[in-house]
Structure 1
Amino acid sequence: MSELFKKLSEPLSISDIDFRVQSINKGGYATILAYKNARVDMNRLDEVVGALNWKREHVRDNQNCIVSIWCEEKKQWVSKEDTGAESFTEKEKGLASDSFKRACFNWGIGRELYDYPFIQVKLNSNEFEVDGNRVKQTWDFKLKEWIWYAEFTDGKLTYLGAKDNHSKVRYQYGKLKSKQVKKSA
């Protein structure tokens, strides 16, 4: 089981990581969040343990998710459970998805995301607008088109960088040795 956990815990490919804007301040600095969606977890479980050797169960009105993996050695299911938080857009689906992703974190999937640096990017003046107390991005800010690079050493993130849709470097953390590229959306 420890070898299985080790494989589940391997860093995700940068192409499996999505990035979104959490907030923009009046000075034009955007805070960017790195996250994984539930399909990434399902794919990792399918690849590592096999599609028929894991299962998920939602309890407490989708607040909790139990992800179980069949342990051939013990001839029983081994489970990890966690609680999710509601989504602002899709309450039930968001809650189920979040609890599943959190339970998968307990299995080690995407755990390296907790070690990602604080990502803050200075936006160009055409990429945001201030409307009273609200600051929002404009259509000129195309984060989904950015190309991200990541490098890991011994499972730890040692470099994270991004180029925008004009091939301009917009973010860097650490020192790049070799590239692992995130495909553009």
Structure 2
Amino acid sequence: RVVWRVQQSGFSKQGKPWAMVLAYMDNRAVQERFDEVFGIAGWKNEFKTAPDGGTLCGISVKFGDEWVTKWDGAENTQVEAVKGGLSGSMKRAAVQWGVGRYLYDLPTSFAQTSLEKTDDWNKVFDKKAGKNFWWNNPQLPSWALPQNPKVQNTKADFTEEEIPNPPKLYVVGKDKKE
């Protein structure tokens, strides 16, 4: 599941709204993807305090009888500091496993915008102009769309031969380097 957020927005000299948007994954997408690929008992996470006061997250995946862990960290956030630090560190640890890594390769996207309220579109309040406008989520490029929405391996019951080549963990899409 890909989520979009506005990075920058404004109005042109002609009064038309614009919004530059970024794609990201939320923490629920990370949890769902690991559940789909490894099953609920085939992965786990743990948290530690980072040296600078942020949060470190380790995501472990079970291959045979062995747990393999990859770590990453994040600072606590301005809003809901602890929750934001936990969520951010887990998303970053998931990228170590390949989940959502392709999102870094997406080009800058500008959303379709409207001054008229449009159902199912997102609302933005532009402080400088003092008014609202609406924007629609862009479409992902074809290389970032799922090639096969069904996950083949849903449990961590891999054979020894499969351990060196674990299944891909991308939230959606396919590694374009393959």
TM-score using structure 1 length: 0.61
The residue aligned with 1:39 is 28
Amino acid at match of 2:34: L
Once the two structures are aligned, what percentage of the paired residues are identical? 28
Cα-Cα RMSD: 3.1
Match of 1:59 among 25, 48, 51: 48
1:88-103 equivalences in 2 (<5 Å): 88-103=78-93
Determine whether 1:114 maps to 2:104: yes
In 2 relative to 1, CA 142–70 (structure 1 residues): closer, same or farther, beyond 3 Å? same
Q: Please say if residues 112 and 135 of structure 2, whose CA atoms lie closer than 8 Å, have aligned partners that are also in contact.
A: no
**How far apart in 1 are the matches of 2:125 and 2:30?**
36
**How far apart in 1 are the matches of 2:111 and 2:68?**
42
The alignment covers a number of residue pairs equal to 135
- Deviation per CA, 1:22-65: give whole Å up to 9, x if none: 12145343110101111111111111111101110010166110
1:31-180 equivalences in 2 (<5 Å): 31-60=20-49, 63-72=55-64, 75-121=65-111, 123-124=113-114, 131=127, 134=128, 138=132, 140-143=133-136, 146=137, 148-152=139-143
Q: Please say if residues 60 and 67 of structure 2, whose CA atoms lie closer than 8 Å, have aligned partners that are also in contact.
A: yes
**Structure 2, unaligned stretches of length 5 or more?**
117-122, 147-172, 174-178
TM-score using structure 2 length: 0.63
